[in-house]
Amino acid sequence: MARKREADRSLKRDAGWFHRRLARAYPDAACTLDYETPLDLYVATVLSAQCTDARVNQVTPALFRTCRRAEDYLRLGREELERRIQSTGFFRSKAKHILGAGERLVAVHGGRIPQTMEELLALPGVGRKTANVILGNAFGKQEGIVVDTHVGRVSRRLGLTRQTDPVKVERDLMELFPRKDWTVLSHRMILHGRNVCLARSPRCAGCTLSERCAYAAG
The one-letter code for the residue type at 133 is V
pLDDT interval class at 2 (50, 70, 90) = low
What are the backbone angles phi and psi of residue 69, rounded to the nearest 5°?
-130, 165
Q: What is the pLDDT of residue 218?
A: 79
Residue spans of alpha helices (H) in the chain: 2-25, 38-47, 53-66, 70-76, 78-85, 91-108, 117-121, 128-138, 149-158, 166-176, 182-195, 214-217
pLDDT bracket for residue 55 (50, 70, 90)? very high
For the chain, the domains span 2-30+144-217, 38-138
Pick the CATH number of 2-30+144-217 from 1.10.1670.10, 1.10.3720.10, 1.10.10.10, 2.40.340.10: 1.10.1670.10
Q: Which residues are catalytic?
A: 129, 148
> Cα(59)–Cα(200) distance, rounded to whole angstroms?
29
Question: Cβ distance 53 to 33 under 8 Å?
Answer: yes
pLDDT, tens digit, for every residue of 58-107? 999 999 999 999 999 999 999 999 999 999 999 999 999 999 999 999 99
Q: How far is CA 127 from the centre of its chain?
A: 10
The secondary structure of residue 200, as a DSSP letter, is S
Q: Is residue 4 pLDDT above 80, yes or no?
A: no
Q: What is the pLDDT of residues 171-182, one digit of tens each?
A: 999 999 999 999
**Amino acid in position 186:** S
The answer to whether residues 207 and 197 touch, using CB atoms and an 8 Å cutoff, is: yes
Contacting residues for 103 by C-beta, under 8 A, at least 6 apart: 74
Question: What is the tens place of the pLDDT at every residue in 122-147?
Answer: 999 999 999 999 999 999 999 999 99
Band (pLDDT 50/70/90 cuts) for residue 9 is confident
Mean pLDDT calculated for residue range 21-28: 98
Of the options 1.10.10.10, 3.90.78.10, 1.10.340.30, 3.20.20.70, the CATH number for the domain spanning 38-138: 1.10.340.30
Rounded to two decimals, the pTM is: 0.93
Could you check whether 2-30+144-217 and 38-138 share the same CATH topology? no
Pair 156, 138: CB distance under 8 Å = no
Phi, psi of 207, deg, nearest 5: -85, 130
Distances (CA, A) of 183 to 53, 132, 147, 151: 17, 8, 10, 12
